[in-house]
Amino acid sequence: MSVDKTDLQASLKQYFGFGAFKGLQESVVKSILSGQHTFVIMPTGGGKSLCYQLPALMQEGTAIVVSPLIALMKNQVDAIRGLSNQEGIAHVLNSSLNKTEVKRVKEDIVNGVTKLLYVAPESLTKDENVEFLRTVKISFLAIDEAHCISEWGHDFRPEYRNLRSIIGRIGDNIPIIGLTATATPKVQEDIIKNLGITGANTFKASFNRPNLYYEVRPKTKQVDADIIRFIKQNEGKSGIVYCLSRKRVEELAQVLQVNGINAVPYHAGLDAKTRSSHQDKFLMEDVDVVVATIAFGMGIDKPDVRFVIHHDIPKSIESYYQETGRAGRDGGEGHCLAFYSYKDIEKLEKFMSGKPVAEQEIGQALLQEMVAFAETSVSRRKFILHYFGEEFDNETGEGGDMDDNVRHPKKQHQAKDEAKL
Ligand code: ADP
Ligand code: MG
């Protein structure tokens, strides 16, 4: 299918109301429309959904979208339906549907009404679904959050491993689109290999976040006081403080409150009502600071988060990048401050000790990279981007002086000695 630039722009406007593509979107859309296997690596918020939604809407047949979370699928389906005012244009196929609903979905697909069909990997494995999908016209198959395929990713899902053989059963020449925000070369290799899409057109956006300032400080007994001082110096600004355990979240939230900081706790142990009320208060700016476990943040899109503090060091650079990435979404200031002590690394190692050996080995390797990051005396930005397979030059690259090591160079042994405190 050949589509010229003006058609693409017009379709973008028509279906989404956007005046321009973001970043690599246009090239990705063209690649998908040309029927080739395509691999997309873009940071969170980069606009990956549109990359497959637009070509799906423009083409004949139904695009199958595999996505790991029912809530995410529902959001996307609702959004697409809202844009087009057409209920049947997008559907979810999963085990929660009753017989009548399944029949309706299938009819819409057969009649060529449905352009996007969202499925969980478990649903795609079901024989009856495979048998049905064999008989209809499929435009392409997109696998969102494709890092779930890899054990090196932060969210490994065994069901994702079987996708390749299922796709083969649905049809012979179905173009496959993989999309992820995981930038490590290892995960990328795994995805390409497992999906059997060697030679796919690959599009990788830069992971550089030039407006974020990265800083790591040694964690001492005074860490709470350090955090309080930092927050007071940033009064009135929104921020997130991440802790490893729920208990620590509760304690620190209280300590902050006692010290006159408008903070609330957030973790998976709180009931749903409290969680959503605390989240809303943060979004509405009734509170300045959320003290949270990693349960907080998925789907949080507050553009003006001005700082992210790690009270405990995360278990991988990926996690660190995702969590710090919640600062400065609007392009404004974003201070990322992590407290590091080797004792915390030992704690994380202990957590892993109950897991299968293979998992432990991977966890160890990821953790050692985190140690190297915390203890490095080179530019933290350069380190992160190198980890993601990207070359960065501090002299010429955007945000080249935005970290502690570049602004205040110190000798490596000093950093190590401090970390042992
Ligand atoms: P990702 O999946 O890469 O994290 P999303 O697909 O969720 O990102 O998109 C992030 C946001 O960017 C969404 O709010 C989306 O509406 C918006 N967006 C995507 N493409 C464009 C565009 N071309 N112009 C303006 N906004 C866009
Ligand atoms: Mg996405």
ipTM for the predicted complex comes to 0.99
Whether 130 and 138 have beta carbons less than 8 Å apart is answered as no
Mean pLDDT of 348-356: 92
Mean pLDDT of 278-297: 93
Ligand 1 contact, 49 CB (< 6 A):
yes
Q: Ligand 1 atom closest to Cα of 22?
A: 23
| Residues by chain with Cβ below 5 Å of ion ligand 2 | 48
If you measure from the C-alpha of residue 44 to the centroid of ligand 2, how many angstroms do you get, rounded to a whole number? 7
Residues 118-137 pLDDT 10s: 999 999 989 999 999 999 99
Whether 4 and 143 have beta carbons less than 8 Å apart is answered as no
The confidence score (pLDDT) of residue 49 equals 96
The confidence score (pLDDT) of residue 156 equals 86
Ligand 1 contact, 48 CB (< 6 A):
yes
Based on the number of CB atoms within 10 Å of its own CB, is 56 exposed (0-12), middle (13-18) or buried (19 or more)? buried
| Of the candidates 76, 3, 6, 8, the residue with the CA atom closest to the CA atom of residue 35 | 3
If you measure from the C-alpha of residue 414 to the centroid of ligand 2, how many angstroms do you get, rounded to a whole number? 41
Ligand 1 contact, 50 CB (< 6 A):
yes
Q: Ligand 1 atom closest to Cα of 79?
A: 16
**Is residue 3 over pLDDT 70?**
no
Percent of the chain at pLDDT above 70? Answer: 95
The confidence score (pLDDT) of residue 108 equals 97
Q: Give Cβ neighbours of residue 1 (< 8 Å, ≥ 6 apart).
A: 33, 34, 35, 59
Q: Give Cβ neighbours of residue 268 (< 8 Å, ≥ 6 apart).
A: 246, 275, 293, 295
Residues 384-421 pLDDT 10s: 999 999 999 999 999 999 999 999 997 655 555 555 54
If you measure from the C-alpha of residue 113 to the centroid of ligand 1, how many angstroms do you get, rounded to a whole number? 24
Q: Ligand 1 atom closest to Cα of 19?
A: 24
The confidence score (pLDDT) of residue 153 equals 79
Both structure tokens of 355: 């897991």
**Is residue 298 over pLDDT 80?**
no
Mean pLDDT of the chain: 93
Q: Determine the residue of 21, 49, 57, 77 to mutate for testing ligand 1's pocket, defined as the one with the most ligand atoms within 8 A of the Cβ atom.
A: 49
Mean pLDDT of 91-104: 92
Ligand 1 contact, 182 CB (< 6 A):
no
The confidence score (pLDDT) of residue 297 equals 78
pTM: 0.86
If you measure from the C-alpha of residue 195 to the centroid of ligand 2, how many angstroms do you get, rounded to a whole number? 19
The confidence score (pLDDT) of residue 311 equals 98
CB count within 10 Å of CB 175 equals 21
The confidence score (pLDDT) of residue 154 equals 76
Both structure tokens of 41: 């690596």
Ligand 1 contact, 42 CB (< 6 A):
yes
The confidence score (pLDDT) of residue 417 equals 57
Ligand 1 contact, 46 CB (< 6 A):
yes
Q: Determine the residue of 50, 182, 206 to mutate for testing ligand 1's pocket, defined as the one with the most ligand atoms within 8 A of the Cβ atom.
A: 50
If you measure from the C-alpha of residue 53 to the centroid of ligand 2, how many angstroms do you get, rounded to a whole number? 11
| Of the candidates 303, 176, 307, the residue with the CA atom closest to the CA atom of residue 239 | 307
If you measure from the C-alpha of residue 113 to the centroid of ligand 2, how many angstroms do you get, rounded to a whole number? 24
- Starting from the CA of residue 43, give the closest ligand: 1
Residue having the nearest C-alpha atom to atom 16 of ligand 1: 47
Mean pLDDT of 10-23: 96
In a 13 Å sphere around the CA of 17, the CA atoms on its Cβ side amount to 5
The model's confidence at residue 228, banded by pLDDT at 50, 70 and 90, is very high
More confident residue, 72 or 224: 224
Q: Determine the residue of 22, 42, 182, 204 to mutate for testing ligand 1's pocket, defined as the one with the most ligand atoms within 8 A of the Cβ atom.
A: 22
- Starting from the CA of residue 12, give the closest ligand: 1
